[in-house]
Amino acid sequence: MSFEHGSVDLGIPNPFKVEGALRTLRGVVVSLLGAGALMQVAGLVKNDPVSGWMMAIVGFILLGGGLKATGAGIFQMMRFYVGRGVPTSLAANVSESERSTSHLEQPFVAYDSGLLEQMLMGRKNLTFIEPRGWIARLVHSIFPRLTFLPYALRNTALMLSTAVTKTLVALLCFVLAWFTSATGLGGQGASAMMPVLSAVLLIYLLVVWFKAGTAVTRRLGARVDAAGTGSLAKVLALAILAPVLLGYLYSYATTHGVSRGLAGFLNSIDIIAAAIMPGLWLLVTSVLLVAATALLVTLLSVRAGRANPVTEVSEYRGNWQESVHPNEIFINIDSMVMANRRYLEIPNRVYRDLEPELNEQSEGKGAFKGKMIQETQPAYKPMPVSPLQKKLRLVGTAVGQLAYGVSALLFYFTFTGAAEVLGQLKAHRIHDMVALLGAIGGVLPYLTASVIALVVARLLVNHCHLFWGEMQFESTLVYFKCEGTFTESRISTGAGIYDSTRSENTLVRSSMTPWVIVSRLVSSTFAGVGGRNLEFPRHVLEMHKDEGTLQALLKDLKGFLGDREVIASLKSDKDLAAASNIFNINEQTRSALPGKPDSPDVAGHLTNNADATEQH
């Protein structure tokens, strides 16, 4: 959405300054590490060009990643541009003042005018949808208040619960594989392949939790994904069959001597897997992931505890009979009553334009109806953040950035170790495959630790970011509906026997049934970084009664109807002078007529009693 400047500040602060400072610090450290690696390239190239090129590659990767993190962190700390068009509207805004920009936010609106009408009329909040999938239903059954969280946080909970479920299933599968091997069901080769299965389990867990750390995008902020068990059955079946197949293949290759190459390949995989020490890394990974998950679950629990899913409205229904044209009712409610309730002089969000329908019938009779839905400009409402939530999101972000830095450092050690292995190969200090595998096994733990640190960092940073960026707004949503009938009649006033100056008016008598519903909304959205910083969908979380606004609306509307003039009168001094001149001329004319009454009082009395009113 384009930036729309206004002289009045909306009071929306930059929520990412602390997070940006931590990201910048990590980026500077990683950039220095990459620069240090590049400074070693010149000396290494003279002695060993291969090692020099490897150091150049790792230096460029670290320097590029560090500079990217530094730039992103500084960008987060820059000015938070907030125009008068933020946050995103609840539905398509059809206001005349937003015609040039309303289409830009169209892909991000969470409702339409029909849904908003249903929410007000039915006293229900359609934001809180039913979970989809077995895992989602299980999690929402254990933690029912997750239903009342914004969609981005609900998706975070589903990502974590899906990863936990897959982890538990994978561990169960590993236990089954160990049982198959221990009982001899997989043959003699099954026990020899257990280190390989341990390494496969470690890789599987890292892949699962890497996916769980995916940042919640605007798409995931607009809807809730399903979380089912479609892939769990396949994993379970594979875990039972894989040890048997691998053990049989290993036994057949080593016993029958079908292929020395195949047997050597299997032995090499077994040696490398044992060198990685997958059991130790499985324990380290499990501890780190449990700690990170516990932190995020606590943040979600604290946020869910503050949810207040109220669905209340203030309502008025009545029947009025007024001498007013139906169009004037709708014009007044739109251009006066609602316009006087603008926040900071920002036009209201119009979700259903007021287009009255008049069905004129014969003999000056007819029917009319019209609807309108408007929301006042959402006012920023600072969220109450508990001390525990402040500490947890700060610790989570700081630990995540630290883990990114540790991952970069271990990545550096991985490449330096690989360069040493290549140097030993060139110097012919490695004479056989066993020695080569042993040398590679000494480098792989650095790579494994680097990947584990990267997975934990990604999980913490991306999901803690949501707890920095959530913003809440408060606004008033008004629904006005009016139906009725009208009749026309003519009224004539001021006609006298001796004075023909009079006022003739066509009077419209309307019998109307207004229906007004008012609700004070608390809505939530998530801030981003960049030019589209507040273009996440905005969802209604709370609906409160607002009797004060409802009574003020009715007072203004009834005041307009009570102050109207039905009979046209003369207000201009010139018009009054002209009418006086006409009266004087009539007086002179009557005085010249024969048979003029002798007494002026009698004449005045006859004139004053000559007014007549004819109404049809």
Task: Quick: pLDDT tens for 449-491.
Answer: 999 999 999 999 999 999 998 999 999 999 999 888 878 766 5
pLDDT tens digits, 338-396: 888 888 888 899 999 877 777 777 666 888 888 899 999 999 998 888 899 999 999 99
Residue pair 424/439 in contact by the 8 Å Cβ criterion: yes
pLDDT at residue 448 above 70?
yes
Which of helix, strand or coil describes residue 506?
Answer: strand
- As a dihedral over the C-alpha atoms of residue 160, residue 165, residue 167, residue 170, rounded to 10 degrees, the angle is -160
The encoded tokens of residue 139 equal 């999690």
All residues at 6 or more sequence positions from 140 whose CB lies less than 8 Å from its CB, including other chains: 131, 146, 147
Q: What is the pLDDT of residue 451?
A: 94
pLDDT at residue 229 above 70?
no
Residue pair 535/88 in contact by the 8 Å Cβ criterion: yes
Q: What is the pLDDT of residue 396?
A: 95
All residues at 6 or more sequence positions from 364 whose CB lies less than 8 Å from its CB, including other chains: 487, 488, 489
Helix (H) or strand (E) holding 467: helix 433-469
DSSP 311: B
DSSP 572: S
Is the peptide bond prior to 87 cis by the omega test (within 30 degrees of 0)? Answer: yes
Mean pLDDT of 204-231: 74
Q: What is the pLDDT of residue 292?
A: 95
pLDDT tens digits, 525-549: 998 887 677 888 899 999 999 999 9
Residue pair 467/389 in contact by the 8 Å Cβ criterion: yes
All residues at 6 or more sequence positions from 373 whose CB lies less than 8 Å from its CB, including other chains: 113, 116, 117, 350, 351, 352, 477, 478, 479, 480
The residue ranking higher by pLDDT, 432 or 173, is: 173
pLDDT at residue 599 above 50?
no
578 vs 580: CA distance, rounded Å: 5
pLDDT tens digits, 284-332: 999 999 999 999 999 999 999 999 999 999 999 988 877 777 778 888 8
pLDDT tens digits, 556-587: 888 777 665 555 555 566 666 766 776 677 67
467 vs 526: CA distance, rounded Å: 9
The encoded tokens of residue 382 equal 């600072």
pTM: 0.81
pLDDT at residue 265 above 60?
no
Query: What percentage of the chain exceeds 90 in pLDDT?
Result: 31
All residues at 6 or more sequence positions from 124 whose CB lies less than 8 Å from its CB, including other chains: 118, 311
The encoded tokens of residue 484 equal 């009725």
The encoded tokens of residue 434 equal 């066993």
pLDDT tens digits, 52-83: 888 888 999 999 999 999 999 998 888 777 77
What amino acid occupies position 528?
Answer: G
pLDDT tens digits, 388-436: 999 999 999 999 999 999 999 999 988 888 877 776 666 666 655 556 6
pLDDT, mean over the chain = 79
pLDDT at residue 30 above 70?
yes
Q: Exposure pattern of 371-388 as b/e (b: 16+ CB <10 Å)?
A: bbbbbbbbebeeeeeeee
Which of helix, strand or coil describes residue 227?
Answer: coil
When mean pLDDT is compared across 169-183, 506-520, 594-608, the lowest value belongs to 594-608
Q: Exposure pattern of 98-124 as b/e (b: 16+ CB <10 Å)?
A: beeebeebeebbbbebebbbebbeeee
State the pLDDT confidence band at 46, using cuts at 50, 70 and 90. Answer: confident
Residue pair 303/295 in contact by the 8 Å Cβ criterion: no
What amino acid occupies position 178?
Answer: W
pLDDT at residue 200 above 90?
no
Which of helix, strand or coil describes residue 174?
Answer: helix
The residue ranking higher by pLDDT, 23 or 190, is: 23
272 vs 523: CA distance, rounded Å: 54
Q: What is the pLDDT of residue 614?
A: 37
The encoded tokens of residue 99 equal 């015609």
437 vs 457: CA distance, rounded Å: 30
Q: What is the pLDDT of residue 45?
A: 76
State the pLDDT confidence band at 499, using cuts at 50, 70 and 90. Answer: low
All residues at 6 or more sequence positions from 576 whose CB lies less than 8 Å from its CB, including other chains: 570
The encoded tokens of residue 458 equal 């990604």
Helices 387-426 and 278-305 pack at an angle, to 10 degrees, of 160
pLDDT at residue 134 above 90?
no
The DSSP annotation for 405-440 comes to: HHHHHHHHHHHHHHHHHHHHHHTT---SHHHHHHHH
291 vs 400: CA distance, rounded Å: 12
pLDDT tens digits, 266-276: 555 555 555 56
Q: What is the pLDDT of residue 613?
A: 35
pLDDT at residue 600 above 50?
no
